[in-house]
Amino acid sequence: MVFSSMTFLFYFLPVLIAVYCIVPRKLKNIVLIIGNFVFYAWGEMRYIPFLIYLSVQDYICGRMMDKYKNDAAKKRVFLAISIIGNLALLIYFKYTNFFVASINQLPGVFWDIPKIMLPIGVSFNSFQSMSYSIDIYRGKNECGRSYIDYLCFTSLFPQIVAGPIVKFEVVGRELKNHPVTKVGFAEGIKRFLLGLGKKVLIANNVGFLWSRISAGQAGAQSVALSWIGILAYTFQIYFDFSGYSDMAVGLARVFGLTFEENFDSPYISKSVTEFWRRWHITLGNWFRDYVYIPLGGNRKGPLVQFRNIVIVWALTGLWHGAAWNFVLWGLYFAVFLVLEKFVLLKFWEKVPGFLRHVYTMLIVIVSWVIFYFEDISKIGAYIKGMFGFGGLPFWNGQALYYLISYAFIFVAAIYFSGPHFRTKVLSRVEASKNRLVWAANSLAYLAVFAACVAYLVNSTYNPFLYTRF
């Protein structure tokens, strides 16, 4: 990624929010569109024409499907135009290099093409646009009458890099009214700061540890160090992704919009099925509504359901990245989902909850090894190291050093990845009428913000993991 999201957030965002709050309601979408395009231009100016093209295409297709809502044949034509246009752009930018590299593995074949860079948010943008067109075709959603409203929706910068995937039916009415309130503004700012803290204070710290261990820069490897490393990545990917989602939901609230929740404490899950109801919720819902159910879901017998699960999870893996390890990652989860649905379902609830949780987390943690390493041989080598194969010692001085050095961060990550802080502590504090509690709560948010700024000023390690998807 060629720009700093944090630079945009700290330099441009305050100005955008101030102008947005000042201008009349009828100009708010214009201000948001300008902010969206500044965000895109900050990253890569040359991709803006593609964004405009898709917005025009899908807006016109939506209007035409609404116009011919009683003519199924014409509706299908405009739906096809929309879907083909979005998929063509997605496949070209995201998968061309992958397909060519795969073909070049064949004997005597070598296609030399320039490396195609991935536009910002192309995966999320294309999925949102397709859901808009499909919902109009199905009659679930009315088309946007105003192109300005639709352009604002399809280019919304808070979620375009890492989600959540937003549907027009959720924010379309709000884009007309912009119900900005003092309470909503305050709640949005606090939610944004919570997400920023998760990303900067936890994800970045454990991510730095993982970057050293995964690159072999943390000293002599051991079984314990392998586990410390992958646990660090397990927390990094959660706090990075959910932190960004929190920031997006919070910013939407500031602008008077409602985004769907994307995470619900996934690391407390007691089955793989439950994990995927809690992790990246909007993506799971998208594949369920627009791929799994149209293929027949579970309505046509176990063989068709098995096929549908495999297709959906192969596509889910490929959506995350243009490499074979992502396909393997998706199929890995498909195996366990099929196992749970067809084999374990009858007696799973009788297994003690602790054992079910350990089983789930073991599967999830191993999955992150597959997810991270694009080199398949490195996946096998790292998993072998985790389970003591290959002659590695179980424990060494490096493992002890990193365990002690990052003990506080790991404890914080374990606690804040669960629901207790959100449902027990934060909800009670926010509901309190006590002025001292209110003052302490406000100071806590300011402290989180100050700590994030201090960290960002002094650190060069600040990746957004999901920007590459």
pLDDT at 50: 83
Q: Give the tokens for residue 409.
A: 């961060």
- The answer to whether 320 is a known catalytic residue is yes
pLDDT at 462: 61
pLDDT digits (tens, 9 = 90+) for 3-60: 455 666 677 888 888 898 888 888 999 999 988 888 887 767 777 888 888 889 999 9
pLDDT digits (tens, 9 = 90+) for 348-373: 888 898 999 999 999 999 999 999 99
pLDDT at 3: 43
The stretches in the chain having pLDDT less than 50 are 1-3
Distance, in Å, from the CA atom of 108 to the CA atom of 106, rounded to the nearest integer, reads 6
How many other β-carbons are positioned within 10 Å of the β-carbon of residue 169? Answer: 14
Q: 465 vs 77, 162, 207, 262, 311, CA distance in Å? A: 37, 9, 10, 16, 25
Q: Where are the domains of the chain?
A: 5-178, 184-468
Burial of 185 (0-12, 13-18, 19+ CB in 10 A): middle
pLDDT at 1: 41
pLDDT at 2: 39
* Amino acid (one-letter) located at 121: G
* Predicted TM-score (pTM) of this structure: 0.91
pLDDT at 14: 87
Of the residues 280, 320, 357, 420, only one is catalytic, namely 320
Could you list the beta-strand ranges (E) of 87-199.
Answer: none
pLDDT digits (tens, 9 = 90+) for 439-462: 888 899 899 999 988 888 776 666
